[in-house]
Amino acid sequence: MFKLYRLRDFNALISDSFSFFKYHGKNYFKNYFIINGGILVVIALLTYLVTNVIFTSIGDFNSPGAQEMILNYFEDNVWYFISVGGLILLLLITLSLLNYSYPILYLKTLQDKQEPTVKDILTLLKSKAGKIILFPIASLISFIPLFTIIALISAFFVVTIIGIPVACIIIVAMGSWISLSFYDNITTNNGFFTSFSQGITILKNNFWANIGVSLIIGIVVFCIDLFFSAIPELLGSFTLLDETTDTSSISVILTIIGTTISVFVSYLLTNLTVISQGMIYYSYEESIHNRSLDSEIDLIGGERE
């Protein structure tokens, strides 16, 4: 049985980030694809179509007389491209919000129910929709000035070899801070600024373990995404050995497929990233409120009744 509330050191934070999917992966992803699957497929399809148009246009751009024709086509259909671009942006924002909030909602539902249903998660989603929408807006206002200052500091550190690890730590810490603030904002009744403050408190509580976990999970996610994105290119390297093959058209097709796979896999891997932050969040909650003991007392009391 997976224990949501428990004290976790560095090793436990890493292992629980993966063992969560061992115990709850089937139910978790079943609900995930029911809720997010439709939008995810649409975005993957749109990514394929957009990259196809872009790379086909680039290929045709070099042919005689094609430049003027393509430019005229874009000028004549400018509102069409703006509309399609707006639709894609809206879908990306919607999926990104759902994709990032889903693990948080699932873990919150898991507090009271071992196998959350789609209905449970959607009910919670409706009650938290306002916060989910307002948090990124408030974050843009609050975090961007801070990010700008920290980015300048990080850029200064990157100039030196010693400064590169420092810059990495700063960037990872900022990402974790935002994630933990979002966790607190959605999981509790706290307002934005209270959660903003709570996020840094949680991060500092076990700072080096939290930074280490965030960094390692980030590297794992990057490597997995890179692997799946590279598969079409690896397959293409064998196909291109045939001298009779049209290398330019195959390269375009493989690039389109690789981009589509990369987008799809990136959204899926976000779940691992957010769940790992959840392990940090609930470990902190256990250290402060000792909720696992309360649950055991309630369980014993229920058995006696």
pLDDT at 129 over 90: yes
Q: Which residue has the tokens 């959204």?
A: 267
Section 69-84 average pLDDT: 73
Cα pseudo-dihedral 76, 82, 88, 92, rounded to 10: 150
Burial class (CB in 10 A: 0-12, 13-18, 19+), 271: buried
206-230: per-residue pLDDT in tens? 999 999 999 999 999 999 988 887 7
Encode burial over 198-227: b for 16+ CB neighbours within 10 A, e otherwise. bbeebbeebeebbbbbbbbbbebbeeebee
Q: Which tops the pLDDT comparison, 293 or 109?
A: 109
**How many Cβ atoms sit within 10 Å of the Cβ of residue 194?**
14
Q: Determine the pLDDT at residue 140.
A: 83
pLDDT band of 304, cuts 50, 70, 90: very low
Q: What is the dihedral of CA 30, 31, 33, 35, to 10 degrees?
A: 160
Give the pLDDT of residue 266: 87
- Residues 17, 18, 23, 27, CA torsion sign: positive
pTM over 0.85: no
Q: What is the pLDDT of residue 105?
A: 96
**Residue 91: is its pLDDT beyond 90?**
no
Element (H, E) at 24: helix 10-61
Q: pLDDT tens digit string along 231-242? A: 766 766 665 555
The confidence band for 205, taking pLDDT boundaries of 50, 70 and 90, is: very high
Residue 302, pLDDT above cutoff 50: no
**What does the pLDDT read at residue 257?**
74
**Angle at the Cα of 289 (from 287 to 290), degrees rounded to 5?**
70
For residues 198 and 76, what is the distance between their CA atoms, to the nearest angstrom?
52
Residues sharing a CB contact under 8 Å with residue 105, sequence separation 6 or more, in sequence order: 121, 124, 125, 128, 186
Task: Give the least confident one: 13-17, 74-78, 238-242, 283-287.
Answer: 238-242
User: Angle at Cα 55 formed by Cα 40 and Cα 53, nearest 5°?
Assistant: 60
